Amino acid sequence: MRACDLFCGAGGMSQGLRDSGISVEMGIDNDRQALSVYNMHHTNGTCMDLSDEDAAVDAISALGHLDMLAGSPPCQDFSIAGTKKTGKRASLTVSFARIATRVRTRIILMENVGFMARSSTWEEAKTVLLEGGYSVHCLRVNSACCGVPQVRRRMFIVGALGKDMSILKLLSAGFRVTPAHPPKVKDFLPIDTYYLPGRNVHSYSVHGADKPAPTLRCNCLQRPYPSYMPRHDDAGPVQDAHTLSV
């Protein structure tokens, strides 16, 4: 199978596709810094503003026959309450849908935060896909079910031209809850504890590596404040805790 990865970032989706035996012919993003990382591993990253849908369609069509169009549109404009900020980044989800209906690959795959499914932006994008002839199904996936030592729930939108996707409802049930024996951080990193700032001032921040990590956020590289006060639930002394890197 041949695919193109939109909003490819540093290459996480492309790597997953490649690991599944899919040839990723191009990754497209407008973040040059992310693309510099992408091209260290994939060498086919292209800088482009995907809000320019005509240019995107031209670039993708030049690749020849593709089986899949994949993408991870920006998620920052979808809030935890399930509402949408009407900014440019949220509208890129609709741009992905419009590009998909013009390129018309057999399969589409889109990843985002779970709250996207509650947004009016997704309703608009879904309408575009349905009117374009795609059957669409939403898969809510917990990364701990996929061999990742982290409890992180994401939404995957799977679509196929003219196909009934109802069978995916049977597949999705087993990927939503944390498994009884999930992967542990220490299975991948030789550490006992690590520091991850809590969501509020009362939360503990020293986590044990003998279980999956919580959802990693942009502050996972932050070192403890000198004034950090130990919490009752800390897994160990803060001075012994490692900092996670990405």
CA distances from 37 to 9, 69, 181 (A): 8, 21, 33
- 18 Cβ partners below 8 Å, 6+ apart? 24, 42
For position 237, what pLDDT does the model report? 93
pLDDT of residue 83 exceeding 50, the answer is no
Give the highest mean pLDDT range of 79-93, 161-175, 184-198: 184-198
pLDDT-based confidence at residue 90 (cuts at 50, 70, 90):
low
Q: Say how many residues make up the chain.
A: 246
Token representation of residue 155: 């939404």
Least confident among 15-24, 37-46, 103-112, 219-228: 219-228
Give the per-residue pLDDT at 68: 95
Give the mean pLDDT of 99-117.
Answer: 88
The pairing of beta strand 107-113 with beta strand 153-161: antiparallel
Read off φ and ψ for residue 160, nearest 5 degrees: -145, 140
DSSP 154: E
Identity at 150, one-letter amino acid code:
Q
Q: pTM of this prediction? A: 0.80
Regarding predicted confidence, which is higher, 200 or 41?
41
Place of tokens 């998620």: 75
- For strands 45-47 and 193-195, give the pairing: unpaired
Q: Average pLDDT over the chain, rounded to whole?
A: 85
Q: Which residue has the higher pLDDT, 140 or 29?
A: 29
Binning pLDDT at 50, 70 and 90, where does residue 188 land?
A: very high
In angstroms, the first-to-last Cα distance of the chain is: 29
- List the Cα angle 5/218/44 in 5-degree steps: 25
- The widest CA-to-CA distance across the chain, in whole angstroms, is 59
- Give the least confident one: 78-87, 90-99, 228-237: 78-87
Which residue blocks in 165-210 are alpha helix, DSSP H? 168-172
User: What whole-number distance in Å separates Cα of residue 6 and Cα of residue 109?
Assistant: 10
| Whole-number Å distance between alpha carbons of 152 and 243 | 19
- Buried b / exposed e over 186-200, threshold 16 CB at 10 Å, is beeeeeebbbbbeee
Q: How confident is the model at residue 67 (pLDDT cuts 50, 70, 90)?
A: very high
Span 176-183, average pLDDT: 80
pLDDT of 3: 96
pLDDT number for residue 81: 40
Q: Rounded to whole angstroms, how far apart are CA atoms 82 and 90?
A: 12
- Provide the pLDDT confidence category of residue 162 given band limits of 50, 70 and 90: confident
Residue carrying structure tokens 């939503």:
176
82: left (phi over 0), alpha (psi -120 to 50) or beta: left
- Report the range out of 145-149, 180-184, 188-192 with the highest average pLDDT: 188-192
pLDDT score of 195 more than 70:
yes
Q: Would you place residue 167 in the very low, low, confident or very high pLDDT band (cuts 50, 70, 90)?
A: low
Q: Dig out the tokens for 112 from the structure.
A: 């985002």
pLDDT at 181 over 90: no
